[in-house]
Structure 1
Amino acid sequence: MSATWFESVAEAQRRAKKRLPASVYSALIAGSEKGLTLKDNLDAFDELTFAPRTAGLSGERALATTVLGREIALPVLISPTGVQAVHPDGEVAVARAAAARGTAIGLSSFASKPIEEVAAANPATFFQVYWTGSRDDILARLDRARRAGAAGLILTLDWSFSHSRDWGSPHIPEKLTFRELLRFAPEGLARPRWLLDYARTRRLPDLGVPNMAEPGSPIPTFFGAYGQWMQTPPPSWDDVAWLRSQWDGPFLLKGVIRVDEARRAVDAGVSAISVSNHGGNNLDGTPATIRALPAIADAVGGQVEVLLDGGIRRGSDVVKALALGARAVLIGRAYLWGLAANGQAGVENVLDVLRTGIDSTLLALGHRSVHDLSRDDVRIPETFTRALGAGTRSSV
């Protein structure tokens, strides 16, 4: 086995930490304020235990499923994350890795690579939009996504401005000017392999967000686009329904954590929802997504596809999510660590780790397919679930 191979997502994280400059790595692991939600996303999975079988186990297991009209080889998709400067190839490497392992990728509006390049690398590319700018601005981005061949749309609403992190936020420059390069030099020199990756490309880490560029205009910086998002009034449910009407294809609403809002999403006509708290980078004190999943799946699982993101680190975590009602999961930090550790091959490695974990957990549970999983396969503590907004309907 290659020396670059790793056997767990935890090892991918350790290698990413050794390879990345400290401020780049800290940007990947940080959560809002005290990090309560970030921690709960991880800890909640540990509270769920399995009910394994010992005989009559299946010799073969089927991991494939269908999400948003696409057949994927395993119930794990790539969640959209912004500016993947942990590696020069960024989102293109991730897209190729996902295609090689038979799954789909969500591409952020705030990505460092244009949608045209990413969709060419993986036809199962779902373009993610934030409610930023005017309706005409948003429609222009949708039109570009169509022309690029996007397989579907992801509207992300689970991102709110985090005013602080108790451990401090890393300094991220607006642009990599000569002055900023001097400031960053000690960190970069401490991680020569990361610098060498960029030196080979003869390019500096790109902090621009090309998918937010207007035709004929310069590419805005991440913080320029972020500022526009902050100045845009948040969307109403009527806005969500309007945007859905503008996209003739699969439409995922990412950011649902309440039962009443899951119902409103159904009313708005979405194809799927993702139970999400933006990986702990939203309102701190929001419960783990796996705690909110069962009530949401019970309420709307028969009407739309229900996905989950937040805290997935092992194949057994994926199985727990599926047993509690998710059709599939999305991963974020896990694949970014793989990308940082070993580029495209590192992302493939992470997906292989999850695939192996799903397969071995299915074996122990005595199932032939991911579609056979149910709540009988896990023990759920009495105080585990959080049915937020149950019995009410959001009116905003």
Structure 2
Amino acid sequence: MTATAGRPFHAAVTGFGMVTAGGLGVADTWQALLAGAATADHVPELAGMPVDFACRAERFDGDALLGRRTAWRLDRVTQMAMVATNEALELAGLDPAEWDGERVGVVLSSALGGVATWERESDRHREHGPGMVSPLLIPMAAVNMTAGHVAAAHGARGPNFAPATACASGATALGAARELLRADLCDVVIAGGTEAPITPLVAASFAKMGALSGRTDDPGTASRPFDATRDGFVLAEGASVLILERPDHARARGARAYAHLSGYGAAADAGHPTRPDPEGAGAELALRAALRDAGLAPGDVDHVNAHGTSTPLNDAVESLVIRRVLGDRPAVTSVKGVTGHCLGASGAHEAVAATLSLHHQVVPPTAHVAELDPEVGVDVVVDKPRRLQMSTVVSHSFGFGGQNAVLAFTRA
């Protein structure tokens, strides 16, 4: 994807909300990231599975947070996004009762949608016949329905969609949201990603392909991006939502911008369906496109919030791309040591982390790195947070299908 001609467009990030294994809300998650907390643990849903642990948002209770009357008709994937949206709107100081809904868009992504609902209703169909399948199956499970439910809850009548680019989905959503603002189609866009994939079928599939860590004896430290002994990712759930605004709209209402989303690039590997290109060709194209879009040079990048999945292939290829394009100057971290891999929500989690890093001028450590892989060759932040003067952060997101998306954030 090539950059749009003209001056860089700086979308204002005025609010954000999170539901992660690290905590319920932005403050708790940020503290967990700074502490390098261990969040993965054995979960009942996966009992008896070859890999029986995951990063679950233990404090999340949809009934309590949304009310049972609302929560019962929503898959967990949508419940988490609704709660994250509420937090983001509150932080942004936006009251949906007062906005022009036709100028408010929603772009919320998921890699898998309401997979728990699909599995449950499939079991009912097989065991009890078609008469027992819920009429709410499709509205609860379809990938686009989270965006639809959020729009309905807040009267957002602008563009509404859910780009599906596997584990790059959250980042793709933010890039698409920024384009709506740049084109003056919206003043405000609610954007991000959500995922609730901790189910037996999903876990079995990832385990069968060898993508998951097998550290069942020590799940807490199993997600260890860039570590020499990394052996796979840890499946996770969560949602992160950001409020993006046209800069003139944010200024007019006196809103605080925590950072600017200033660049977006996307490209395809056009190769293997699950393995990254061994030379990182698509990732490099996306990174360079994001920098061009933002009017930045490689030497302007102070920090990379890496995709950093804790898989042997991803971390090796990603570090190769960082070295080739950015050199060894930027401080690199992956938050997946704490959050686990939330698939379609990961890019949105990392966008919030990038925003907070710029706002607080601190880089969280990459959790659980006992021995940094000597082949990585980049400046990975480990052990403790690093104070760092930053003006530019790039956030990488890559996914099955050869999907690559990169976001460039600049200091407000």
Q: Using CA pairs below 8 Å that are at least 6 residues apart, which structure has the higher relative contact order?
A: 1
Q: TM-score, normalised by structure 2?
A: 0.28
